[in-house]
Homo-oligomer: A and B are copies of this chain.
Amino acid sequence: MVSGEFWHLCLNTVIYVHITSWRYGKLAIENLFWLGYVGAFGGLLFAFIQIRKVMAYPEGSEKMVKISEAIRQGANAYMYRQYTTVTIFFLSMFILLMILSIFGLVNQFTPYAFITGGFFTGLSGFIGMRIATYANVRTANAAQTGLNKALRVAFSSGSVMGFVVNGLGLLDLTTWFLLLKFVFKVSDADIAQTMVTFGMGIASMAMFARVGGGIFTKAADVGADLVGKVEAGIPEDDPRNPAVIADNVGDNVGDVAGMGADLYESNSNAIVATIALGFAAGYGYAGFLLPILVSTVGVICSIIGTFFVRTKEKANQKSLLRSLHSGVFVAGGLAALATIPLTLWLSHASGPDMWSIRWGMLIAVFAGIVSGFIVSYSTEHFTSDAAKPTRDLAQSSETGTATLMIGGLSLGMKSTAGPILAVSIAAIISFTVSGGFAGNEMAGLYSIGLAAVAMLATNAIILATDAFGPVADNAGGIAEMAKLPPEVRERTDALDSLGNTTAATGKGFAISSTAFTALALLAAYVNEANTSLGALGLAELDLRLTNPAVLIGLFVGGALAFVFAAFCISGVHRAAQSVVIEVRRQFREIAGLMEGTADADYAKCVDICTINAQKEMIAPSILAVLAPIVTGLVLGPAGVVGMLGGVIASGFCMAIFMLNAGGAWDNAKKYIEAGNHEGKGSDNHKAAVIGDTVGDPLKDTAGPSFNILITLASTVSIVFVGVATRFSIIDLIRNISIG
């Protein structure tokens, strides 16, 4: 059996790596570059096996195949259009970076690093989405025989995404590093800059994918619901609804491709930030190797974890969740254990001066993992309909829509406290134990970065438990449209609702790891800026919070998070209005549609979503790229630091607020639909449906985009640091007023 073989292979590799490394100590370190490829190809190979597994399942009836093809075509059409739009942006930035490199403001590798970053991010999302559009119909078909089989198909499809993301991430990070270090033999500073530009490309593509996909999926969802469910009174996923295919396409381009790109970004940029700081801390090659190895170990442990995900046929929500959790916990536990010798050895191997902080690194790794779980737990507590907050929220529907809205807003705002405290405490612990306060500031910050890497090490399996949700959702849609027996829909619904809960974990990890990554990138920025200023013969940055440039930057950063959110939300708002108008038109103009004798023009709705999502994604994405550049030109590098501080603090709170408010509204609705507070069809339920609709763009478009906003703004700042240190208005004024 393949599972047994893998188990052995993986375990042996881990043991071999540890024993060999420990024995050879420092001697071996320069020759261990290939270990990154173990994780990369291990992950990709496993993903490939999962693809074959998924494809081996039968597709079901002709009708199901036809529906699934329509969804796939729509998704492909969207992706094609998105890549076309994005190409223009990438080419412009490529040219800009070329020009900057001619003037020596960035090194000559950055344009290519930027392009490849974008390419691999897009590729991750695309592969994951592609397989999801094949897996949806197979899941629906498997659900005809049983729950366990359906879970296996959907989960395998989710695994593809998970392992492609981490495998590709390791592949190109390792390759870039090795090329720069051993082939082009460039300086450490240039390696750091190139890697960060690579990260900027990743974040740019992730931003387009997340925001564009998020707008598509919510515009289709809201549009389909508003006219179909509310006005026409037909059930969800009814084939008579012209937006039904668009809705299912949305799951794939938003919840799969968008999320994949997003987590590719979180994972890769955590590593990039840590590597960049590794140079600043003087760790050199070991500073690069450690995050890569932690990530590699994570991939291997994730592979092992997947074999623990299985369920009995008579499974309920609870046992399903337990089965998924067991996979995640096995992977996490193994990875944590494996990290212990790895960290101790590598910190030892890289010289006696690092020996003193090896425990610090180890504690940082654990602090990161623990805080990630606390944030996930907090998210689950505030959004699960088994817990008090969401039940209270459902209760408040009894006094009407207004109180339900107020309740959700205050729930979301209140829920920011726990995650902020967890992340803050973990960061301060990581910094302190690594000697950050004892004069070794860069080491402390490196450990903060490492905490983020560790948190995302088993990203592959977390993402797998997350990405199967939309596949199950799609399967349910296909079952409904193909008029499969009701128990099929029940099974896919069980999987779908499970996916909603596990999605909370994934989002919790994404945003909290980003907080750490952002701190690391901020430090990297300061380092780069001071180097640049030093080269210009200027004094170091005045980063005191009382420097008005920093303070005003802080204000601007705070507002940036709000305006960005507004763009995302109003993008959905406008796009949904267009869908509403089109669906109403089709109901009005296509004779026989409601009677089921004529087909709706599904492609038209997909088209409208595509066009609008493309149009609306531009403003928030460009805002995130331009804000740091303009801030740098006006307020100088110190202002940029303030702005980054503002957008991190504000963006983190906004993300938690929106994710939890939206999640709670969603689950309050489900709780009422389960028969509580007078159940489906009551006034309370109507109020809850409104709450859910309001929460949709918050939790699926704006909320999950803040982490990308934060890293994108940070990486753009670093890449354009040379511009800010040379050409800012504030420095001009300062020079005039001093001189």
Contacts and interface: CB of A to CB of B under 8 A. Distances in A.
Contacts of A693: 402, 406
Contact of A562 (B567, B648, B657): B657
A638 to B, nearest CB: 9
A387 B573 CA distance: 20
A205 interface: no
Interface string A398-422: 0111110111011111101100110
B400 A226 contact: yes
A374 to B, nearest CB: 14
A570 interface: yes
Interface stretch (A138-146, A542-550, A674-682): A542-550
Contacts of A605: none
A652 B558 contact: yes
A555 interface: yes
Contacts of A543: 543-546
Given A417-B559, A737-B435, A402 B690 contact: yes
Contacts of A519: 548, 551
Interface string A526-559: 1000000000000000011110111110111111
Interface residues of A, number: 91
Interface string A419-451: 011011001100110011111010011001000
A626 B614 CA distance: 47
A281 interface: no
A523 to B, nearest CB: 5
Interface in A489-517: 515
A441 B542 CA distance: 12
Contact of A428 (B406, B552, B557, B569): B552
Interface stretch (A29-37, A299-307, A452-460, A639-647): A639-647
A690 B559 contact: no
A734 B437 CA distance: 5
A65 interface: no
Contact of A438 (B424, B648, B697, B737): B737
A563 B413 contact: yes
Contacts of A439: 738
A565 interface: yes
Copies in the complex: 2
A646 B401 CA distance: 33
A401 B690 contact: yes
Contacts of A436: 548
Contacts of A645: 545, 551, 554, 645
Contacts of A650: 558, 649-650, 653
A246 interface: no
A730 interface: yes
A562 B226 contact: no
A228 to B, nearest CB: 13
A550 B428 CA distance: 11
A311 interface: no
Contacts of A577: 396, 399, 403
A539 to B, nearest CB: 13
Interface in A247-269: none
Given A414-B570, A416-B562, A563-B413, A222 B402 contact: yes
B410 A649 contact: no
Contacts of A401: 401, 690
A636 to B, nearest CB: 11
Given A439-B738, A738-B439, A396 B573 contact: yes
B546 A649 contact: no
A204 to B, nearest CB: 22
Contacts of A445: 546, 548
A555 B422 CA distance: 11
Contacts of A168: none
Contacts of A646: 649
A585 B641 CA distance: 57
Contacts of A437: 730, 733-734, 737-738
Contacts of A206: none
A230 B411 CA distance: 25
B556 A420 contact: yes
Interface string A560-587: 0111011101101100110010000000
A580 to B, nearest CB: 6
A522 interface: yes
A97 B522 CA distance: 39
A93 interface: no
Nearest to A543: B544
Contacts of A222: 402
B226 A402 contact: yes
Q: Which 7 A-B pairs have the closest CB atoms?
A: A558-B649, A413-B566, A402-B693, A414-B566, A543-B544, A420-B559, A410-B570
16 contacts: A222-B402, A402-B690, A403-B573, A405-B694, A406-B569, A406-B693, A409-B569, A409-B694, A423-B555, A424-B555, A428-B549, A523-B546, A545-B645, A555-B648, A558-B650, A645-B645
Given A403-B577, A424-B552, 4 more contacts: A406-B573, A417-B559, A428-B730, A445-B546
